[in-house]
Structure 1
């Protein structure tokens, strides 16, 4: 990466936070630490952060509440950490707007790989070139600026998408009117660092539908294909 990314680790276990900070710093990351929501808010008010590693179980305001609150103010990428193996916690974290998740215990090397993958997506770079290299795309009145990573609705208003949501929309726009399986979408949006958790694709599709569908309960842009995956129905044109 061209500059050291600033990673904010929100974790109340001092041993874990120290281990993560030490490993990330030896791998060319700037690291700030917070043990709770108050410290998180103070650090965000005083510095630009490129990515947040957020523990689910925190004293006071928990990680899910913090994730939801962060999403209301910023599209900053978030990786959730959870000590629970229950799939419900992972689903809730993704529904609150997290870009990725990791169960504890975890290998710091894998966390670094996840961080780098999420930051690449946030920067608009992927390991594989997209099928359509045009900067500006349009579909049914919507407009996408890949360089600025901006999406505007048919009325011209900017619609805020998280990096994960933007990456999914871009994957669909590069392959319109084709059925894409959940495995394909995982590979296209999260790459080889993705865990085998197909529900994460469904949750991300649901989040994107709430932002771009005229009626998210009866979607017409992103159709579900039974036993197949998803179909992005509109034609996509370069602008």
Structure 2
């Protein structure tokens, strides 16, 4: 079934162009000119990804991301008018998966859409982690079948597709340093330019969510000049979890 993309932008020329452009690549599309219209569409239809302009007429796009993240982990790509690092970092820190600055090259946006959707749908192959759909670390349960993380309390930890992919990579190589370049290549495949600070923003958000759910603050360690490491031993359900 074709993947469905919701384009949210008050510039009708942009939405009409993107709908035509993306349809050429077998995507189903719909568009909304405001956050209110977006909400109505999402109540009656399921989407696989949202392309969201920051400058909406009724609600600030960053606030829309915050509101969406309270109820959904749907992938979000932000469209920003200004190509400023601060706007990009804010967007990533509040839960967006990627960003594109206007005016943009359509093929770059297409590459980012494909990358984000691939991360959202691909289940990584286990490497260092135990075999089976569930892995336990520091009381958390990672289920690669459902792509969910359960806290020690049993509640779900709401990770975006990008955050999930990063955490899985760290879990698979727990105790080892996973290089920044390795993570960037895993996430973006080298096909588009992404700053290091984008990765830092994702890591910071993962840490914040895990700590809120009961993890120690240093569960994910930063190895300056190298990358990141998960400071936990890995177990399986029913087997003692060594931390």
TM-score higher than 0.5: yes
Moved over 4 A (4+): 214-218
Give the stretch that moved more between structures: 169-178 or 209-218: 209-218
Unaligned runs of 5+ in 1: none
SS of the equivalent of 1:57 reads coil
Deviation at 1:29, TM superposition (A): 0.7
Partner of 2:52: 54
Aligned counterparts of 2:234 and 2:48: Cα–Cα separation in 1: 31
Structure 2 residue ranges without an equivalent (≥5):
238-243
Q: Is the 8 A contact 1:182 1:229 kept in 2?
A: yes
The range that moved more, 187-196 or 176-185, is 187-196
Task: Name the counterpart of 2:28.
Answer: 30
Q: Deviations over 1:66-114 (max 9, x none)?
A: 1111111211110001120111000111111001111122222221221
- Pairwise CA distance, 1:125: 4.0
Instruction: Answer with 130-139 or 14-23: which moved more.
Output: 130-139
Q: Is 2:108 the partner of 1:110?
A: yes
For residue 146 of structure 2, what is the aligned residue in structure 1?
Answer: 148
Question: What residue is the counterpart of 1:158 in the other structure?
Answer: 156
Deviation at 1:218, TM superposition (A): 7.2
* 1:124-179 deviation digits (Å, cap 9, x = unpaired): 346xx452564211111111100101111122222221111111110101111111
Structure 2 CA distance for aligned equivalents of residues 158 and 147 of structure 1: 14
Structure 1 position 59, deviation (Å): 1.3
Cα distance in 1, alignment partners of residues 112 and 236 from structure 2: 31
Change (3 A) 1:137 1:13: same
Question: Contact 2:148–2:157 (CA<8 Å) still a contact in 1?
Answer: yes
Within the alignment, does 1:81 sit opposite 2:79 as a pair?
A: yes
- What is the TM-score normalised by the length of structure 1? 0.91
Counterparts of 1:116 and 1:215 in 2: how far apart (Å)? Answer: 31
How big is each residue's C-alpha offset from its partner over 1:36-62, in whole Å with a ceiling of 9 and x where there is no partner? 111111111111111000011121212
Q: Which moves more between the two structures, 179-188 or 212-221? A: 212-221
Check 1:190–1:26 CA distance in 2 against 1; reply closer, same or farther (3 A cut): same
Q: Secondary structure at the match of 1:76?
A: coil
TM-score (normalised: structure 2)? 0.90
Cα distance in 1 for residues equivalent to 2:61 and 2:137: 36
Once the two structures are TM-superposed, the CA of residue 191 in structure 1 deviates from its matched residue by 2.5
Match of 2:202 among 201, 204, 209: 204
Mark the CA change 1:233 to 1:160 in structure 2 (over 3 Å): closer, same or farther. same
RMSD: 2.0
How far did residue 10 of structure 1 move?
0.4
Matches within 5 A, 1:1-239: 3-125=1-123, 129-131=125-127, 132=129, 134-213=132-211, 219-239=217-237
Question: How many residues align structurally?
Answer: 235
Paired with 2:170 and 2:215, the residues of 1 have a C-alpha distance of 19
